[in-house]
Amino acid sequence: MKVTNLTKEGCDASRLEMGRTKGWLLAAAAAGTLSACVQVSAPDRPIVINLNINIRQEVIVRLQDDARRLIENNPGVF
Amino acid sequence: MRKSIYLAAGIAAALLGAGAAMAMQDAAQLRASGVAAEKADGYLAATPRASGPQRDQVSAINIQRRQLYTSLAGQRGATIEEVAAATACQTFASRIAPGQQYVLEDGVVRTRNGNEPVPLPAHCR
Mean pLDDT, each 10-residue run in order, chain B (125 residues)? 72 56 85 98 97 98 98 97 98 98 96 97 92
The more confidently predicted of residues A19 and B110 is B110
Cα B41–Cα B42–Cα B47 angle in degrees, nearest 5: 85
What's the confidence (pLDDT) of residue A15? 46
Partner residue facing B68 (CB), from A59, A63, A70: A70
What's the confidence (pLDDT) of residue A13? 46
What's the confidence (pLDDT) of residue A40? 67
The more confidently predicted of residues A37 and B56 is B56
Measured CA distances, A5 to A19, A42, A62, A65 (Å):
25, 7, 38, 37
Pairing of strands B36-39, B101-103: parallel
Q: Is the pLDDT of residue A52 over 70?
A: no
> What ipTM did this prediction achieve?
0.82
A70 touches chain B (CB under 8 A): yes
Interchain pair A71, B64: CB under 8 A: no
The more confidently predicted of residues A16 and A22 is A22
Nearest to B44 by CA among B62, B63, B26, B67: B62
How far does B26 lie from chain A, in Å, by closest CA?
5
The more confidently predicted of residues A22 and B68 is B68
How far does B40 lie from chain A, in Å, by closest CA?
7
Report, as an integer, the average pLDDT of A16-38: 53
Q: Which residues of A touch B37 (CB under 8 A)?
A: 47
Interchain pair A76, B26: CB under 8 A: yes
Residue-wise DSSP of A38-72: EEEE--SSPPP----TT--HHHHHHTHHHHHHHHH
Count Cβ atoms within 10 A of the Cβ of residue B110 and give its class: 0-12 exposed, 13-18 middle, 19 or more buried.
middle
Q: Which residues of B touch A46 (CB under 8 A)?
A: 107
Interchain pair B87, A1: CB under 8 A: no
Report, as an integer, the average pLDDT of A7-33: 49
Q: Which residues of B touch A78 (CB under 8 A)?
A: 27-28, 65, 87, 91, 95
**What confidence tier does A49 reach under pLDDT thresholds 50, 70, 90?**
confident
Pairing of strands B101-103, B109-111: antiparallel
**What confidence tier does A47 reach under pLDDT thresholds 50, 70, 90?**
confident
Interchain pair B68, A77: CB under 8 A: yes
What pTM was computed for the model?
0.68
What's the confidence (pLDDT) of residue B23? 74
Query: For residue A48, what are the β-bridge partners?
Result: none
Lowest mean pLDDT among A47-56, A59-68, B68-77: A47-56
How far does B23 lie from chain A, in Å, by closest CA?
14
What's the confidence (pLDDT) of residue A46? 77
